[in-house]
Amino acid sequence: MPGDRCLVAPCSHFNALSNAIVPRSVSSQTRRIIGRVSIWLAGLSVGRRYNAPMVTEKVKQLAALEAKAKKLRAVIARELRYELSGLPAKYGFESVREFERAVRIASGAKKVPKRRKRRVRVTPEVKAAVVRALKDGKTAAAAAKEGGVSLSSVHLIKKATGLVKAQK
């Protein structure tokens, strides 16, 4: 009947089907019930339930939403790059490296990693300065600091110039 409620759809859809499936000898109430059940089962067999959209429609909606999310990610990345590039100048830093160091210190990092020094070439002038410092009685560490080289380089210079006795 048009006013009855059912699980799948309005009952006006069932009247024609219920008359076609069920013979007239069955009561009208039974015909309505059988019609509703058969329509409900038919809906289940094709993968639709309670007038839900088909899976292909859901897949299309999902693809559209994924495309929209991809566009939004690109917009966010572009705007984030723009905003982050202006932060050092906004806070009065001349370079990104200075800004990064300040942020690391502010965040409570115990030790801020320093950049590795460039390798110093040991020229004859540097060797002469180290040898002079050693002959003046300075320690190897003081000679290394004065010459701007490492302690191991000072020991190699001492060995090369004969300031150290060879071990037996």
Taking CB atoms within 8 Å and a gap of at least 24, the contacts of 112-115 are: none
**Domain assignment present for 148:** yes
The mean predicted confidence, pLDDT, of the chain is 77
In a domain, 82, yes or no: yes
Distance CA 15, CA 3 (A): 12
> Residue 37: which domain range?
1-52
Q: How many CB atoms lie within 10 A of CB 130?
A: 26
167 within some domain: no
Question: In terms of domains, do 24 and 61 share one?
Answer: no
Asked, for residue 96, whether it belongs to a domain, the answer is yes
Q: Is residue 22 part of a domain?
A: yes
Q: Mean pLDDT per segment of 10 residues, for the chain of length 168 residues?
A: 46 45 59 71 56 78 93 93 88 88 81 71 90 92 90 91 78
Q: Are residues 48 and 15 in the same domain?
A: yes
Residues 2 and 40 in one domain: yes
| Residue 20 sits in the same domain as residue 41 | yes
Tell me the residue type at 106.
A
Determine, yes or no, domain membership for 102: yes
Determine, yes or no, domain membership for 42. Answer: yes
pTM to 2 decimal places: 0.33
97 and 73 in a common domain = yes
Residues 61 and 41 in one domain: no
Q: How far is 9 from 36, CA to CA, in rounded Å?
A: 9
Domain count, the chain: 3
Question: 8 lies in a domain?
Answer: yes
pLDDT, tens digit, 9 for 90 and up, residues 29-74:
776 777 777 776 666 555 545 565 678 888 899 999 999 999 999 9
Residue 58: CB atoms within 10 A of its CB come to 11
Same domain, 35 and 68: no
Considering the domain architecture, whether residues 75 and 38 belong to the same structural domain is answered as no
Residues 88 and 101 in one domain: yes
